[in-house]
Protein backbone atom coordinates (compact mmCIF):
# COMPACT_ATOMS: atom_id res chain seq x y z
CA UNK A 1 0.00 0.00 0.00
CA UNK A 2 1.20 3.51 -0.76
CA UNK A 3 0.60 6.82 0.98
CA UNK A 4 0.59 10.43 -0.11
CA UNK A 5 4.20 10.49 1.08
CA UNK A 6 5.06 7.80 -1.51
CA UNK A 7 3.71 10.11 -4.19
CA UNK A 8 5.69 13.04 -2.81
CA UNK A 9 8.89 10.96 -2.71
CA UNK A 10 8.36 9.67 -6.24
CA UNK A 11 8.73 13.25 -7.45
CA UNK A 12 6.61 12.64 -10.54
CA UNK A 13 4.32 15.62 -9.94
CA UNK A 14 4.81 19.13 -8.58
CA UNK A 15 3.77 19.27 -4.93
CA UNK A 16 1.41 22.17 -4.19
CA UNK A 17 0.51 21.25 -0.62
CA UNK A 18 1.30 18.08 1.22
CA UNK A 19 -1.85 17.71 3.32
CA UNK A 20 -1.57 14.65 5.54
CA UNK A 21 1.35 12.64 4.11
CA UNK A 22 0.29 9.52 6.03
CA UNK A 23 -3.01 9.19 4.14
CA UNK A 24 -3.13 5.95 2.22
CA UNK A 25 -3.80 5.74 -1.50
CA UNK A 26 -5.56 2.54 -2.49
CA UNK A 27 -6.83 3.43 -5.97
CA UNK A 28 -6.56 6.04 -8.66
CA UNK A 29 -9.73 7.64 -10.04
CA UNK A 30 -10.25 9.92 -13.07
CA UNK A 31 -13.25 12.12 -13.84
CA UNK A 32 -13.92 15.83 -14.25
CA UNK A 33 -17.64 15.81 -13.51
CA UNK A 34 -18.06 16.46 -9.81
CA UNK A 35 -21.11 14.35 -9.02
CA UNK A 36 -19.65 11.36 -10.86
CA UNK A 37 -16.49 11.70 -8.78
CA UNK A 38 -18.63 12.14 -5.67
CA UNK A 39 -20.55 8.95 -6.38
CA UNK A 40 -17.77 6.76 -7.75
CA UNK A 41 -14.37 7.84 -6.44
CA UNK A 42 -13.36 5.32 -3.78
CA UNK A 43 -12.45 6.54 -0.30
CA UNK A 44 -8.67 6.82 0.08
CA UNK A 45 -8.08 7.34 -3.63
CA UNK A 46 -5.94 9.68 -5.68
CA UNK A 47 -8.20 11.79 -7.93
CA UNK A 48 -6.80 12.97 -11.23
CA UNK A 49 -8.79 15.83 -12.79
CA UNK A 50 -8.55 19.04 -14.79
CA UNK A 51 -11.36 20.63 -12.75
CA UNK A 52 -9.52 23.00 -10.44
CA UNK A 53 -11.97 24.98 -8.32
CA UNK A 54 -13.25 25.16 -4.75
CA UNK A 55 -15.94 22.60 -5.47
CA UNK A 56 -13.29 20.03 -6.48
CA UNK A 57 -11.90 20.43 -3.01
CA UNK A 58 -15.28 20.12 -1.32
CA UNK A 59 -15.92 16.85 -3.18
CA UNK A 60 -12.48 15.48 -2.30
CA UNK A 61 -12.91 16.37 1.34
CA UNK A 62 -16.46 15.02 1.72
CA UNK A 63 -15.77 11.79 -0.20
CA UNK A 64 -12.59 11.04 1.80
CA UNK A 65 -10.30 11.31 -1.23
CA UNK A 66 -6.64 11.34 -0.14
CA UNK A 67 -5.13 13.59 -2.77
CA UNK A 68 -5.92 15.59 -5.90
CA UNK A 69 -3.67 15.56 -8.97
CA UNK A 70 -4.40 18.49 -11.27
CA UNK A 71 -3.49 17.38 -14.80
CA UNK A 72 -2.89 19.22 -18.08
CA UNK A 73 -1.37 22.23 -16.31
CA UNK A 74 -4.56 23.00 -14.35
CA UNK A 75 -3.97 25.09 -11.23
CA UNK A 76 -5.76 25.95 -8.01
CA UNK A 77 -5.70 29.53 -6.78
CA UNK A 78 -3.81 30.27 -3.55
CA UNK A 79 -7.02 30.29 -1.51
CA UNK A 80 -7.81 26.76 -2.67
CA UNK A 81 -4.31 25.54 -1.86
CA UNK A 82 -4.65 27.03 1.61
CA UNK A 83 -8.03 25.37 2.04
CA UNK A 84 -6.67 21.98 0.88
CA UNK A 85 -3.85 22.29 3.35
CA UNK A 86 -6.32 22.91 6.17
CA UNK A 87 -8.40 19.92 5.07
CA UNK A 88 -5.31 17.71 5.05
CA UNK A 89 -5.68 16.95 1.35
CA UNK A 90 -2.50 16.82 -0.69
CA UNK A 91 -2.53 18.63 -4.03
CA UNK A 92 -0.17 17.85 -6.90
CA UNK A 93 0.08 19.43 -10.34
CA UNK A 94 1.39 18.13 -13.63
CA UNK A 95 1.49 19.07 -17.30
CA UNK A 96 0.73 15.44 -18.16
CA UNK A 97 -2.66 14.44 -19.59
CA UNK A 98 -5.06 12.73 -17.17
CA UNK A 99 -4.41 9.20 -18.43
CA UNK A 100 -0.63 9.49 -18.27
CA UNK A 101 -0.75 11.02 -14.79
CA UNK A 102 -3.08 8.26 -13.55
CA UNK A 103 -0.87 5.60 -15.13
CA UNK A 104 2.11 6.86 -13.15
CA UNK A 105 0.16 6.48 -9.91
CA UNK A 106 -1.07 3.05 -11.00
CA UNK A 107 2.56 1.99 -11.52
CA UNK A 108 3.30 2.93 -7.92
CA UNK A 109 0.21 1.02 -6.77
CA UNK A 110 1.12 -2.25 -8.48
Site residues for other proteins per CB under 8 A: 32-36, 38-39, 43, 51, 53-56, 58-59, 61-64
Residues in the chain: 110
Give the residue with the Cβ less far from other proteins, 15 or 58.
Answer: 58
- Picked from other proteins, ligand ATP, none, the partner binding residue 55 (CB below 5 to 8 A depending on kind) is other proteins
Following CA atoms 59, 24, 71, 18 in sequence, which dihedral angle do they give, to the nearest 10 degrees? 90
Which residues does residue 70 pair with via DSSP β-bridges, in sequence order? 49, 93
35, 43, 78, 110: which one contacts ligand ATP (CB under 6 A)?
35
- Picked from other proteins, ligand ATP, none, the partner binding residue 72 (CB below 5 to 8 A depending on kind) is none
**Helix, strand, coil percent content, the chain, rounded in steps of 5:** 40, 25, 35
Residues in contact with ligand ATP by the rule CB under 6 A? 34-35
Amino acid sequence: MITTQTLIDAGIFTLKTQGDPAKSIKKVFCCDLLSIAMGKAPAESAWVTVMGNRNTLAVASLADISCIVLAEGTAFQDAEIECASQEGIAVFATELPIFDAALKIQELLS
